[in-house]
Amino acid sequence: MIKNYKFGNYKNLSKTLADIIKNDFQDFLESKKIDFILYVPSSYKKVKERGFDHLYEILIKLLPKAVIRQDLIKIKETKLQVQLDKKERQENLKGAFEIKNPYIYKNKNILIFDDIITTGATLMECFYTVKKANPCKIYSYVIAC
């Protein structure tokens, strides 16, 4: 389902995916006392090509738009991770992300949302980027592995 949603451009699947994780996701947010939710951003080129940011679409089905922060941005075009091996994935993403407004994340509990984890390279690079903002804790929530 995620593959069809992400690569087949079936935007309507965002509601289905949100419905599947809704209860677990809400419980996770409450138990970890999450202050801010970020998501792994797609590149501008990919969003333009697809017509939507797939992770943002799922999140807005789960939460009010005001809660979702769009401060984690992709600043470098990279190859699709699915096409690379573990070592190439890590190299591919080095320096690919930036955090805007880092001061608001200081001493806060942050959640980084992603759809799928394979090697963890994407989340780790996002983690290193968000860590520069000096949050209290950084959590991740991934739909599938």
Q: What is the pLDDT of residues 51-106, one digit of tens each?
A: 899 999 999 999 988 789 999 999 988 877 777 777 787 787 889 999 999 999 99
CA-based nearest residue to 55, from 100, 4, 113: 113
Residue 82 has a pLDDT of 76
- pLDDT band per the 50, 70, 90 thresholds, residue 118: confident
Q: Which helix (H) or strand (E) holds 138?
A: strand 137-144
Residue 74 has a pLDDT of 92
- Quick check: 122 pLDDT over 80? yes
Rounded to whole angstroms, how far apart are CA atoms 143 and 77?
A: 24
Architecture of domain 2-144: 3-Layer(aba) Sandwich (3.40)
Q: Give pTM, 2 decimals.
A: 0.91
Instruction: Look at strands 109-116 and 36-39 and give their pairing.
Output: parallel
